[in-house]
Structure formats: structure tokens, C-alpha cells
Amino acid sequence: LANLMGWKRENGRRRFTESLLYVARKNGKTAIVACIALWMLVFEGEKGAEVYVAAADKSQAKILFRAAAQMVRMDPELPDVVKDFPSYNTLEARPRPDDPTNVFVALSRESRTKHGLNPSCVIIDELHAQPLNADLVATLTTGMGARLEPLTIYLTTADFVRPSLCNRVASRARKVCTGEIQDRAFLPAVYEVPMAADWTDARLWHLANPNLGVSVRREWLEEQCARAKNSATEEYEFRRLHLNQTTQVSTRWLDSARWLELEGRPRLVNGATWGGLDLGLTQDLTSLVLVSAIPRTTDAEFDWHVRAWFWTHRKKLEDELHGGDVRGEAPYRQWHKDGWLSVQVGDAVDLSAVVEDLKRIFAEFGVWKFAYDPHQAAHVAQIMQMNGAYPVAFTQSMKNFTAPGRELERAMTGARIVHDGNPVLSWCVANAVAKRDGQGGVKPD
């Protein structure tokens, strides 16, 4: 704050017109920047000041705005000069009776009116959520040319490894820090644990958490770190959100060596077995996985007993033989020879034959409920329903996949899975890639 607001040029104006606050979560960046926003609204002395906080969506844009509005309500004097219009996400201020009205407004990409503004201060909250070509950001920052002391503040945690506006600004900030480039008007405030460092070393966590021990409890970070050691997904979340490290969007999801260790003799319980059906008519495998939850005697957890069946077509084997598109050189012919993969004539899966297999399998194991993707399997689901099974539509969304995906990770870590060693399923596990949304969500990519 002292550097940003107090460092002046020879002409008396602020040196810095742009700043990046790049810090891990829960370190108070919202409160700090809300204070700056109120200063720019009331005390900066800019006539007709226009302060905007912008984010990728309305709910995020309102967070900082509401923090500032709460500060106004709690102050004994500010309510006399600042009026809150919550329905419009707007604060209006008139520091002196003859001054023009200053405004502080929350905007998002969904906001209709963005052109024609004359911003004096622009705050971009959670920059990592902005698209690479962020029209909102460009519109606001390029509209400041008439202001004597404009100020743009970006605040964010780290982004994923990808081309993005956030990574572009962060890269520029690091280069200013190291002296690789000169930009006297740009103030970088970068707090991050180096990528090459041991992310489990608690002695380094303060590098990304300047408020460690105040708004961020060390014990809480230790708990999150312990969880992250047992899950690739949670490791990447911990490192990005709490160590401010730029991590992969998608990465190899599951520990294939661990999966192979869990081979055993699965026991599917008649009448207490659930299924998951995925149809791949031409390019992908068609698969059915059945699971039974077997209570453990040592604790309140369940062991998941798993068996799988796979189908493809003859052309897939011919592609492998002739070096065509073999999807990672999967040994389809060997799987078929060993009885793990059913192969049908033609260049597409015969759904009628698959349905007959499903009827037999469902009857043998007493499957009463199964999940399916309504995008491709609605007709098959309808047929199986007429044969006594209960289909559950399961769209391939982040929301649907997160809970079972998390349980799969925990079950593998805790050795609570028993599978029959199906090499096709093991190959799928080894090649599974996770996509994360930065909010704890995970799904196959």
C-alpha cells in the first residue's frame, strides 16, 4: 500500500498506474483492494471518479464490492458521503457538496454497459478466470486515457499452465521483479513458492502466504498438504491455490501401479450391484463396469468390488494390425485373444448384440440400477428399463463426476478397491487424464 499509493513522481502524481497482487488464497487481498477502491472513490480527489471492480461472473464481481460496502456501513463518517445502491451494485459518493458524483460499480462479462465508460480506477478480480482475449478488461483499461492518475489493479491466485491473460500479466510481473524488463509504472506484488521447491516443505509456505498465522492458519495448511500427498488432484489444487504455483489443467490422474496392486477376487452381490455404461460406437470402446459396496469390518468404510466388460469392432483390430489410429497402441488383438474384449464384425459396434450381453450380465449379477450417458445411450437405457433395470441419466459434467472421482482417489489410496485384473480397465486407468476447474472439481478429460 505504501509503495502503490505513496510513491510519487516529480510532478506529484503517483508513480504506479498498474499493479498485480498475485497471492495465494485467504491472504486478505479482497479486503486490501476494497480499501484502495474506497480511497479512489472518496479521498483521491479525482472529480467524477469512476471506480470499477470487474470479474468473470456477477457473483465474483460482487464479493469485493460487498466488502467495500460493508466497510462503509461500519465507518462512523463514510455513510454521510457514500450511498449504497445494492440493487445496482453501485456506491455513489460526493466528498463535497459541489463535487460531481463519484461512482463505484461492480461489473462482469455479462454486464451490458461497458463501452463509453471513463474509469479512474479498474480492479480486475480473479484474473485467472478471465479469457485470453478479455474484452471486458480491454474495454475498461483502454478507457482511462483522459484520467490524470489512472490505476489498474489485477488480483488473482495462480492460473493453470495455458495461454491466458493471467499468465501473461504474471510473466510480465516476474520479469519486472528480476529486472529483465523495465516498467516504472507497474508494481508487481508476487507471492509464490518456486516451482522447483519442495511443495511439502512448510518452511516455504510463507512465500505465497504473507498473512500466514493471521488469516491463514498453519495447521490448516498442514492438513491440506497431508490430503494432497494422497491425491494427484488435491496436490495440484493445493499447489495452485495455497502455494500460488502454476499447475497443469489436465494431468495423468490415477496411479496405475497402485491400481495393479489392488487386483484380487471381486465379489459382486446379487441385488446390490450398480453399473456404469458408456457407449463408443466407432472410435472409443464400449464399456460396462459393475461395482458392489462391501462393508468393512474394521471401520465404517466400504470396499468397492469391481468387474468390467468391453466391446469394440473388427476394424479396430485391423487398424492396430496395419498401424492405423490405435489410440495409444492398445493391444486390442491380445485382449480379444485372452477373452477380455468382445469384438464384433464391421466398423461400428452392434448395439443389439451389446444389449443381449447386457441382459445376460444384468441377470447374472442382479444389477438393478445403472448410470448411462443420455447423449448416446438413451435408447439402450430404455430397452434395459423394459427388462427390469433402473437407468439413471449421468451427463459428463464436472458436477456429476467430482464426488465419485474423489471417492475413487480415496479408495485407491486406502486400498478399498478389489478388481479382477482386467487389462483393458487397467489400461484405461493408466491413461486417464483429469480435468480440474480450480474449485475442487475433477472429471475425466
Closest CA to 253 of 83, 8, 68, 430: 430
> How far is 273 from 293, CA to CA, in rounded Å?
8
pLDDT in tens, 51-108: 999 998 888 989 999 999 999 999 999 999 999 998 888 999 988 888 889 999 999 8
Give the whole-angstrom CA distance, residue 143 versus residue 120. 9
In contact, 139 and 155? CB cutoff 8 Å: no
Give me the DSSP letters along 122-177. Answer: EEEESGGGS-TT-HHHHHHHTT-TT-SS-EEEEEE---EESS-HHHHHHHHHHHHH
Residue 282 has pLDDT above 70, yes or no: no
pLDDT at residue 323, rounded to an integer: 43
3-state secondary structure 216-247: ECHHHHHHHHHHHCCCHHHHHHHHHHHCCCCE
| Contact status, residue 33 vs residue 21, Cβ threshold 8 Å | yes
pLDDT of residue 430: 81
**What would the mean pLDDT of 11-20 be, rounded to a whole number?**
95
Give the separation between CA 123 and CA 36, rounded to whole angstroms.
Answer: 10
Q: How far is the CA of 139 from the CAs of 59, 63, 122, 135, 289, in angstroms?
A: 20, 21, 11, 6, 50
| pLDDT at residue 131 tops 50 | yes
Run of H or E residues at 51? strand 50-55
**Unique residue bearing C-alpha cell 510480465:** 172
Q: Map out the domains of the chain with their CATH numbers.
A: 2-190 (3.40.50.300), 211-248 (no CATH), 256-444 (3.30.420)
The rounded distance, in Å, linking the Cα atoms of 352 and 346 is 14
Residue 316 has pLDDT above 80, yes or no: no
How far apart, in Å, do the first and last CA atoms of the chain sit?
A: 42
Q: Does 193 score more than 90 pLDDT?
A: yes
- The pLDDT of residue 398 is 92
Contact 312, 344 (CB under 8 A): yes
pLDDT digits (tens, 9 = 90+) for 384-417: 999 899 999 999 899 999 999 999 998 998 899 9
Torsion of CA 143, 144, 145, 146, to 10 degrees: 110
Confidence of residue 251 (pLDDT cuts 50, 70, 90): low
Query: Using CA atoms, how far apart are residues 231 and 113, in angstroms rounded to an integer?
Result: 44
pLDDT value of residue 325: 39
pLDDT in tens, 342-388: 988 777 888 889 999 999 999 999 998 999 988 888 889 999 999 89
Instruction: Check whether 330 has a pLDDT greater than 80.
Output: no
Q: What percent of the chain has pLDDT over 90?
A: 62
What is the pLDDT, as a whole number, of residue 110? 60
Across residues 191-200, what is the average pLDDT?
95
**Averaged pLDDT for residues 193-208:** 96
Supply the pLDDT for residue 28. 95
Predicted local distance difference test score (pLDDT) of residue 326: 37
How much is the pLDDT for 230? 79
**Residue 124: which of 103, 113, 112, 139 has the closest Cα?**
139
Nearest to 233 by CA among 213, 253, 249, 260: 253
Cell 499447475 found at: 247
Q: What is the pTM of this model?
A: 0.64
